[in-house]
Amino acid sequence: MRISAKADYAVRAALELAAAGEDTSVKAEVIAGAQGIPHKFLEGILGDLRRGGLVASQRGGKGGYRLARPADTISIAEVIRVVDGPLVSVRGVRPPELSYRGPAESLLPLWIAVRANVRKILGEVTLAEVAAAKLPGDVLGLAEDPEAWTNP
């Protein structure tokens, strides 16, 4: 299960905007510099976020990007969906469209359970929480277990 560079970049850019405040415009170039993201690539991503209704933009001298809604109403899942489509997919198709035969039949509910769990986390955590380094208690609980930081 791989999270794309695009999704990672999009979330980081949104976090920069969240940190700047809802009514401060930040230039793409500045975000790119702060997060080490290729400038032109980031412009494309910010375009996706704008078309998705998550950010607003302003051209010209004092232009830039800002969040279109308060940071505590935008979940990480929303950001990822806007730039990458479905949150979880198997062979490129989302779980409900899959069909399995024989002993593999129960694989479908298993993928559904995985997706539900991912949604639960990324859907409840907001840009405001991450930007302020104040993750919800249940998420923090998962991340605090030293076991979670070890590789298999």
Partner DNA sequence: TATTTTCCCTACTGGAAAAATAGGGAATGA
Partner DNA sequence: TCATTCCCTATTTTTCCAGTAGGGAAAATA
Q: Which residues bind a second copy (CB under 8 A)?
A: 1-5, 8, 11-12, 15-16, 18-19, 34-36, 76-77, 81, 86-92, 94, 96, 100-107, 109-122, 125, 129-131, 133-135, 139-140, 142-143, 145, 147-152
Quote the least distance from Cβ 54 to DNA, whole Å: 12
Residue 89 interacts with which of a second copy, DNA, none, CB < 5 to 8 Å by class: a second copy
Among residues 26 and 74, whose Cβ is nearest to DNA?
Answer: 26
- What is the spatial distance between Cα 120 and Cα 102, in angstroms, rounded to a whole number? 30
- Residue listed under structure tokens 């999009």: 10
Phi, psi of 63 (to 5 degrees): -75, -170
Give 114's contacts (C-beta < 8 A, 6+ positions apart).
Answer: 88
The CB-of-71 to a second copy minimum distance in angstroms stands at 10
Buried b (16+ CB within 10 A) or exposed e, 21-44: eeeebbebeebbeeeebeeeebee
String of contacts with DNA for each residue 9-38, x by CB under 7 A: x-----------------xxx--------x
If one asks whether residue 94 binds DNA (CB under 7 A), the answer comes out as no
Q: Which of 69, 49, 56, 71 is nearest to 25 (CA)?
A: 56
Name the phi and psi angles at 23, rounded to 5: -115, 25
Give the footprint of DNA on this chain (CB under 7 A). 2, 4-6, 9, 27-29, 38-41, 43-44, 46-47, 50, 57-65, 84, 91-92
